[in-house]
Structure 1
Amino acid sequence: MMEIEVDIIEFRIPTENNKTLFVWDILPEYSEAHIYEAVWNIFSAFGALYLVKVSPNATLAQPGFYAMVKFYSAAHASKAQRATDRTCLFQRSPVKVRLSTKVNPSFGINPRPLSHARCQELANHYLGFNGWSTHILTMKDFSSCSAPGGAGLDALLRGQSEATGSQELYLKYGCVVELTLPQHGASCRGIGVTEEPLDGDDRPEVVLLKRGKLQKWARDKAVVNAFERVMLIVLGNGKVAVECRSDPDEVFPDDEEEGTLKVNDIPWSEYEGGEEEEEDLTWDLSLHVTD
């Protein structure tokens, strides 16, 4: 009976050792930028990459570089390791390519979700550009300065409303989006919340810019939250199946309650750390390798 290779891919930062390759014995013949591009082009041919990092060897070691390559798929990482180890790749002498074996404390048990841009890249790679879509179900304003009775934001900022008194003013938005995967007959919803304090000296046009920025961030975070519920099941023959998970404790607006959004008190810190923070992860690249 033939065994079918199956790989599970989630929309989270890959932290597993079996998805991480280290490349040694890179000669100092090319610039770091040239090596980065060469490593990315070679290994991306085996599957979608999350990260490539190139660094110079330690001061006491021989001149040269080493690289770390992180795949989303363990199967793709393993295939790439077998195909590239002890080959010359882009230089005149062979390199060593090994799967990571070091236990790194920075690789947490609960990896963080991918950024909005990375979610799109991964979805496009496995599902195709037309294989998924999102649309906003609800965008709700929870700002402290959204007072009832028609009292506008401008009036509050100019001190023409006594409703808030000395209360701190802030903008806060909640968004619910629906992610649809039409080729797989699946869909799921995600929620995103963003907030930002307001300065009483902010001009109306500045506040409008902040509103637009926060609404976009709320939408992006909702899309990320929806992708967190998606598992891609990749078969050895390249076919992809999709499973969407649901959280029974989460409350989303019903279709007949359009415009309504019920949001628990969600701390801003839960949704902080966007694309910049993904790239600033500290990587411990020290690893003992034996032949």
Structure 2
Amino acid sequence: HSLFSAFSKFGPLYSVRAHRNAAVAGPGYYAVIKFYSAGDAGRAQRACNGQKLFQKSPLKVCVCTKEKGFQHQVLALNSNKCQELANHYLGFNGWSSRIITLQNVSGFDGENEELEETSQKRSVKYLCAVEVTLPNHGVHTRGVALGEADTENSKDPLEFVTASRRAQKLAVGRALSIAFQKILLIVLENGKVAVEYNPSQEELTDYLTEEELKGLVQVSELSLQQFDLEEEDDLLSDLNFEDELPSREMLSN
């Protein structure tokens, strides 16, 4: 908590992790603090290195650099971290999101019918389309994603409802993350933020009307195999099943 409070003053943090020193280094601890912005990390290093922030001895703060030739896998930010960055750089009223459609596509690929013949297990799948709008920058993007959850006993109504809710939240969170992946935030030295629409490839979903998009995700016209169902390690930790689905509208002045 002390580390987070001290370093978050320089900008939003991706993660803060403290570790015990290796045996050869003697007693003590070290921490790895990840910023979203290299500029924020540099300012934190210059301001905190050699200072007594919350302890008696001064801290040694260094900026970590990757070794040459080291290939680091870049993972997409989950929906909670995307919203955290959007609120910080754009302001709470600087962006909005809404669910265009959320459809139950369970059993479309025939998997559930086969499972029900041999066991009580059932897979619940929801497909979601989300739109993110940045009105001050004239940018809007969309994301389409699939969420899946299994039930051990499909005859249990409570278990089925819980699995359905989980699949819905996974679908909405993934769709929101995909929509944000097309937005590039450029933080200038004077603190102003520029925004670019930066899709990895031509995105058909961003140019369709709502009716066309809803038609695209109709069960009869969609192959579920095109969606990646691999889950990020921290994705489920972002989901509070007692909350409403994460859609927000921009507040009016």
Aligned to 1:7: none
- In 2: Cα distance, 1:181 partner to 1:223 partner: 14
AA in 1 matched with 2:65? T
- CA contact 2:151–2:159 (8 Å) conserved in 1: no
After TM superposition, list the pairs within 5 Å mapping 1:1-291 onto structure 2: 37-103=1-67, 109-144=72-107, 169-199=122-152, 201-246=154-199, 247-248=201-202, 250-251=204-205, 254-257=209-212, 259-262=214-217, 263-264=222-223, 265-275=225-235
More RCO (CA 8 Å, sep 6+): 1
Decide whether the 8 Å contact of 2:126 with 2:147 is kept in 1: yes
Higher helix share: 2
Structure whose CA Rg is larger:
1
Identify if the C-alpha distance between structure 1 residues 186 and 71 changes in structure 2 by more than 3 Å, giving closer, same or farther: same
Alpha carbons of structure 1 residues 71 and 104: separation in structure 2 relative to 1, 3 Å: farther
Amino acid at match of 2:98: H
Name the TM-score, length of structure 1 as normaliser. Answer: 0.68
Contact 1:194 1:271 in 2 (8 A): no
Distance 1:223 1:202 in 2: 32
Task: Name the SS of the counterpart of 1:144 in structure 2.
Answer: coil
List alignment gaps of at least 5 residues for structure 1: 1-36, 148-155, 279-291
Give ranges in structure 2 of 5+ residues lacking alignment: 239-253
Q: Deviations over 1:102-132 (max 9, x none)?
A: 5399x85441112222112111111111111
Whether the 8 Å contact between 1:232 and 1:241 is mirrored in structure 2 is yes
Cα-Cα RMSD? 3.2
Question: For the structure 1 residues 211 and 87, does the alpha-carbon distance in structure 2 shift closer, same or farther, using more than 3 Å as the test?
Answer: same
**Distance (Å, rounded) in 1 between the aligned partners of 2:152 and 2:26:** 55
Deviation at 1:203, TM superposition (A): 1.8
